[in-house]
Structure formats: C-alpha cells, structure tokens
DNA sequence: ATACACATTTGTATAATACAAAAGTTGCCG
DNA sequence: CGGCAACTTTTGTATTATACAAATGTGTAT
C-alpha cells in the first residue's frame, strides 16, 4: 500500500518539477515553494515565512535575498514595527506562479482524465482517510497543500 | 483530488524524516536515499547509482565520499574493468537501513490500522490507477518505490 | 597505434541549510 | 526615565547537495 502511495507521490513531484522547468525561469524548487506560500497567503513577515516553509529563519532571509535579486519578491519595512520585515510577490512573481500553476493543473487534469472514472472517486475518499489516520498536530493538511501549490 | 494525494504524500515524507532522526545517526535524507538504493539493489557502479538517484555523476561521487568517511559504504575497485568503481554497504550501513526501515514500517502500519478497513482496499486500487494513468518512460514505479525505501 | 568512447573524479560555482552571535526594536518595570 | 529582557532579522561560518566543464584513466575498434 505504501508502495502505491509513494509511486503516486513521485509522479506528482515529477509533474511539479516539469511544470517549473517548462516555464523556463531560473527558479529552484525551494524558491518556488516560497513564491507559492506568498501567493496563497499574501504578504508575510520573514519569520512567518520561515515557519510555513519549516526552515530556519536565516534560510528564509537568504532565499528571499535571491528572489529579490530576481525581482520576484519585494522586501518592505513595516513603519508600525520596525523590527519586522514584510515580504511580498512582485507582479513578475505573481505571473510566474500563475503560469506554473496553470501548466501543472492541466498536466494533472490530463492524468485524471485517463483514469477509470470509478476509481477516481474512491481515490479521494481513501486518501482523505489515510491522511486523517496519520493526522497529527504538526501536519495541517490545508496549509501543506497550499504550501505545495495544490490548494 | 490532487490536494488529497499531496497531503498523503507529505505525511509519508514526514514519517520518513522522523524515522531517520529517531535512529540518531547523522545522515541526511539524500544520503539515506543512496543507502536505500544500495540495500535494495546490492553493490552498484557509481554511474548506475547516479542514474538511479537521478543526480549528476559527480554528485554521487561526493555523496559516496561522505558515506565512506562515515563507514556506511565501501568503494571497491573492479579488477575486471578498472574504470568502474563499485559501491556497496558496509555492515554498519546495512544495520542503519534495517533500523530505519523497521521503524518506518511500524509507523505506517499504525496509520493504516486506524483507517476504515473498507477504504484501505480502495486506496491501493485507486493509487495504482493514478500512477498508471500518469505512467511514462521515465517513471518506473518499482524502481522509484525501491529508491525511496518503500518496496 | 591511434583515436574515439566510456567512467569516474576534480575544479569551480551556487543554493539550501543550520547554528551561533550580533544588531536593532519594543515593551515593561522599578 | 533608564535599563534590561524578549523579539525579529540579519550576518558569520560551516556543511551538504547540486551542476557543468575539464581532466584523468581505461577499454575498444579501425
């Protein structure tokens, strides 16, 4: 059973990576995760961003540096609280996320199209049950789905 | 639907990472992937190893360097063909893989235990159909499952 | 024998990552 | 008010993963 889940999982990761390279743009997968989080949650403090990505704050700082250099995100000072830094997508960043997401969705849709319709329905129910059975405080499914860009 | 698959996928990755850290041992996830491949396929040439892990040959060389230093793999010269290098697990490496795999299986089993038995069965069938529908030359499910240690 | 093809390693560069320490900011308490 | 504690982010430093290009050594076929 785990075998089946893992295979499906690998397939999705492959689709995800392919959609990214297909669009061109020299963005790594971790960087794209950051863009996705910003697209789904809007502007965020650096620390929140690090938490959502489950990385060290310094990692988020440096990843943001590179994305600023690529003109995909902006860093804003917050006049209210000057120790906080707000990160948000630029217009270019928004467009990139949109392009990749569109492509990815169409690839997934094509796969689902090829599935036996009967099985399509049971897939969702079974996976939900699996995730629920494995549910734990640290795993917030809606958050994670968003972070990966599949919400 | 993709949301459901992705959530399940994240859960498995989390289980995998947790099993690894629980065993202690200062091994990274990519390194562990290499150990898993060696455990399931036996001794391999450096190039084969790189192919199976889908990384550049030089990456495999350097990863193997670190695992040799940690006494988890050995590098053997092949007297038959001296341009090839054979990499294989040490006894310590085998034991590490065994420990982590055991722990992981028991975590997965615990999750499956908590699932509605009806859904357990449909999960496998649905996922197989999904993977088949997305099947492509580059994605060999048995290979990938092995590479991730879920075979 | 010579040249081409193959397998691995080395040189070099970048990204992701963590931990520890520094620096600036805010708020509170005496 | 003044200073100290708690917080946010950044910087310093180190390691790993990664790729591409070039070098090295090895086998093979013309």
Distance B56 CA to C14 C1' (A): 15
Percent of chain A at pLDDT > 90 equals 45
Confidence of residue B128 (pLDDT cuts 50, 70, 90): confident
In this prediction, residue B69 carries a pLDDT of 96
Distance B81 CA to D22 C1' (A): 23
Q: Is A111 an 8 Å CB contact of chain B?
A: yes
Q: Do A1 and B114 touch (CB under 8 A)?
A: no
> Strand, coil or helix: what is B138?
coil
Confidence of residue B114 (pLDDT cuts 50, 70, 90): confident
Residue-averaged pLDDT of chain B: 84
In this prediction, residue A146 carries a pLDDT of 44
**pLDDT tens across A1-23, in order?**
777 777 787 788 888 888 888 88
CA distance A147 to A50: 12
Neighbours of A60 (CB within 10 A): 22
Q: Which residues of B touch A12 (CB under 8 A)?
A: 2, 5-6, 9
Closest CA to B146 of B60, B17, B37, B15: B37
Confidence of residue B112 (pLDDT cuts 50, 70, 90): confident
Q: Which residues of A touch B33 (CB under 8 A)?
A: none
Average pLDDT over residues B132-142: 58
Q: Do B123 and A130 touch (CB under 8 A)?
A: yes
Least confident of A48-57, A62-71, A138-147, B71-80: A138-147
Percent of chain B at pLDDT > 70 equals 89
Q: Which residues of B touch A134 (CB under 8 A)?
A: 8, 11, 15, 111, 114
Distance B20 CA to D19 C1' (A): 27
B43 exposure class (CB count in 10 Å sphere: 0-12, 13-18, 19+): middle
**pLDDT tens across A38-83, in order?**
999 999 999 999 999 999 999 999 999 999 999 999 999 888 899 9
Q: Is A1 an 8 Å CB contact of chain B?
A: yes
Q: Is the pLDDT of residue B102 over 50?
A: yes
User: What's CA A26's distance to the chain center, in Å?
Assistant: 17
Q: Do B145 and A7 touch (CB under 8 A)?
A: yes
Q: Is the pLDDT of residue B113 over 80?
A: yes
User: What's CA A56's distance to the chain center, in Å?
Assistant: 17
Residue nearest to nucleotide C24 (CA to C1'): A83
User: What's CA B42's distance to the chain center, in Å?
Assistant: 13
In this prediction, residue B139 carries a pLDDT of 45
Q: Is B24 an 8 Å CB contact of chain A?
A: no
In this prediction, residue B123 carries a pLDDT of 81
Q: Do A12 and B4 touch (CB under 8 A)?
A: no
Which tokens sit at B76?
């053997």
Q: Which residues of B touch A6 (CB under 8 A)?
A: 12, 144-145, 148, 150
Q: Is the pLDDT of residue A93 over 80?
A: yes
Q: Do A5 and B144 touch (CB under 8 A)?
A: no
In this prediction, residue B107 carries a pLDDT of 85
| C-alpha triplet A54, A57, A60: angle, nearest 5° | 80
In this prediction, residue B144 carries a pLDDT of 46
Distance A140 CA to D4 C1' (A): 38
């Amino acid at each position: 059973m785990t075998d089946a889940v893992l295979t499906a999982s690998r397939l999705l990761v492959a689709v995800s990576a392919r959609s990214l390279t297909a669009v061109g743009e020299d963005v790594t997968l971790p960087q794209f995760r950051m863009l996705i989080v910003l697209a789904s949650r809007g502007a965020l403090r650096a620390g929140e961003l690090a938490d959502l990505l489950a990385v060290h704050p310094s990692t988020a700082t440096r990843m943001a540096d590179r994305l600023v250099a690529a003109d995909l995100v902006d860093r804003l000072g917050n006049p209210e609280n000057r120790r906080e830094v707000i990160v948000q997508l630029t217009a270019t960043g928004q467009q990139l996320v949109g392009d990749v997401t569109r492509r990815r969705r169409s690839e997934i849709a094509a796969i689902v199209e090829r599935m036996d319709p009967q099985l399509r329905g049971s897939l969702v129910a079974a996976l939900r049950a699996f995730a629920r059975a494995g549910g734990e405080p640290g795993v917030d499914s809606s958050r994670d789905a968003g972070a990966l860009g599949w919400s």
